[in-house]
Amino acid sequence: MKVAVIGCNGMLGTDVMAACRAVGIETLGLDLPSFDITRFDVVREHLPEVDRVVNCAAYVRVDDAETQRGQAYAVNAEGAGNVARICSAKGIGLIHLSTDYVFDGRKGAAYSETDPVNPLNVYGASKLAGEELVRGAGGRSVIVRTQSLFGVRGANFVRTIARRLKQSDEPLRVVNDQFMSPTYTRHLAEAIARLLQADREGIVNIAASGHCSWFEFAQAIAARVKPGAAVHPVSTAEFPRPAPRPAYSVLDTSRYREWTGTALPPWQKGLEEYLAEEKLA
């Protein structure tokens, strides 16, 4: 099987390339500047003849998106639509990445793929618009909703917390009223490689097993990186950010289990492996 990975230099795309290669899938990487999904002509002319496409390209700066709405929609909505239209025209199966931020987090329980969506921020709305364009393109597609990623290639919460702990003895303040499943991109990439070999269509949630608040996640990082460091819980109200976030966006991953017979490892295992890989603990 031959697979094109769009956004191949990003945090998830890098690991998807590696995970595919590890199981013998031939991979071709595409990314900016030469392959820009916002340009329909570029996608039409330069998307190679492959069996499947994995679209990891996105505008992911959640807070900046509040003031850069046009850019967020250009990549996350129109760009996703361009990829899906060309895949559909060429008969190529598409795996498209989306987010838990399509939900408002008010359900108070894990979200299944069929729960009503209601994004709270521009990033989430742009990703939802992308999902709709992917589904509307009419080809064979899987939309993977995932969340709270950390991986070797990109800026992420674990690295930020680990660096702050190493640089300063000031107590950290981290929100304790937003819950999610922190997901290691390497584990997600292995799941995507598995999905590529399954013949499925539709939306599927994929995230680490278990869940926690960002405060609990920071505590777990501190326990490994700097035992005894002070981490204090704060409320979202005390720590306002430009883009509102869902309070409880844990994803129900039972459909992924049904499809593949497997689940992602617990988030603690992802953290452990990531810290070892980055030599942060």
Ligand X SMILES: NC(=O)c1ccc[n+]([C@@H]2O[C@H](COP(=O)([O-])OP(=O)(O)OC[C@H]3O[C@@H](n4cnc5c(N)ncnc54)[C@H](OP(=O)(O)O)[C@@H]3O)[C@@H](O)[C@H]2O)c1
Going residue by residue from 80 to 119, which x/- string records binding to ligand X, judged by CB under 6 A? -----------------x-x--------------------
Out of 19, 25, 52, 79, which residue is the one contacting ligand X (CB under 6 A)? 79
Region of 19-27, 35-43, 161-169, 253-261 interacting with ligand X (CB under 6 A)? 35-43
Out of 3, 5, 11, 134, which residue is the one contacting ligand X (CB under 6 A)? 11
- Residue 208 as a binder of ligand X (CB under 6 A): the answer is no
- Residue 9 as a binder of ligand X (CB under 6 A): the answer is yes
72: tokens are 């967020």
- Residue 148 as a binder of ligand X (CB under 6 A): the answer is yes
Angle at 86 between CA 81 and CA 88, to 5 degrees: 90
- Residue 71 as a binder of ligand X (CB under 6 A): the answer is no
* CA–CA gap between residue 121 and residue 62 (Å, rounded): 8
147: tokens are 């969340």
Out of 10, 105, 246, 270, which residue is the one contacting ligand X (CB under 6 A)? 10
Tell me if residue 180 falls in helix, strand or coil. strand
- Residue 13 as a binder of ligand X (CB under 6 A): the answer is yes
Q: Which residues are registered as beta bridge partners of 203? A: 143
123 annotated active-site: yes
Angle at 234 between CA 229 and CA 236, to 5 degrees: 140
Q: How far is the CB of 108 from ligand X (least distance, A)?
A: 20
Going residue by residue from 43 to 62, which x/- string records binding to ligand X, judged by CB under 6 A? -------------xxxxx--
Nearest to 245 by CA among 271, 207, 214: 214
* CA–CA gap between residue 164 and residue 159 (Å, rounded): 9
User: What number of chain residues touch ligand X (CB under 6 A)?
Assistant: 28
Say what angle helices 122-136 and 80-90 make with each other, to 10 degrees. Answer: 10
Helices (H), 183-234: 185-196, 214-225
Which residues are identified as catalytic? 123
Which residue ranges make up the site for ligand X (CB under 6 A)? 6-7, 9-13, 31-32, 35-38, 56-60, 75, 79, 97, 99, 127, 146-149, 154
